[in-house]
């Protein structure tokens, strides 16, 4: 999952207060996404839509209860929203790996970053 990059610095300033526990990710994240651009070393975003070449690692498909990237399937365990509508979610990937990720939309850009923080 080479293109799912950390944006922890940008998301660390977000408040996690007033958590909402959800059974799935909201519709605003669901769909096909394609890697768009690196903004800085640890900051990248995806644009909505299918990638032109699905043979490369640049694609991402999000469902309410899972996401798929090149050679990896991750099933949602739990997700919580903060006041801004960003989601901190725990996934079980490829049946044995536990991963936590932030999901955030800003100006129609999808940001995803891995984190050690638990939802």
Model confidence pLDDT, tens digit, residues 43-73 = 568 999 999 886 776 899 999 999 998 889 9
pLDDT for res 41: 54
Model confidence pLDDT, tens digit, residues 67-93 = 998 889 999 999 999 999 999 999 999
Per DSSP, 90 falls in state E
**Contact, 66 vs 74, CB < 8 A?**
yes
Kindly report the three-state secondary structure assignment for every residue of 8-26.
Answer: HHHHCCCCCCCCEEECCCC
Tokens 């955030």 locate to 104
Structural domain boundaries in the chain: 8-115
* Nearest to 111, CA basis, from 24, 8, 26, 2: 8
């Amino acid at each position: 999952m080479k293109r799912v990059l950390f944006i922890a610095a940008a998301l660390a300033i977000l408040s996690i207060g007033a958590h909402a526990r959800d059974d799935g990710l909201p519709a605003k994240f669901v769909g096909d996404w394609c890697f768009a651009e690196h903004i800085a070393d640890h900051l990248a975003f995806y644009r909505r839509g299918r990638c032109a070449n699905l043979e490369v690692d640049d694609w991402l498909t999000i469902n309410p209860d899972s996401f798929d990237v090149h050679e990896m399937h991750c099933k949602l365990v739990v997700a919580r929203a903060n006041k801004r509508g960003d989601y901190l979610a725990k996934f079980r990937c490829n049946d044995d790996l536990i991963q936590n990720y932030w999901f955030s939309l800003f100006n129609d850009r999808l940001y995803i970053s891995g984190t050690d923080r638990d939802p």
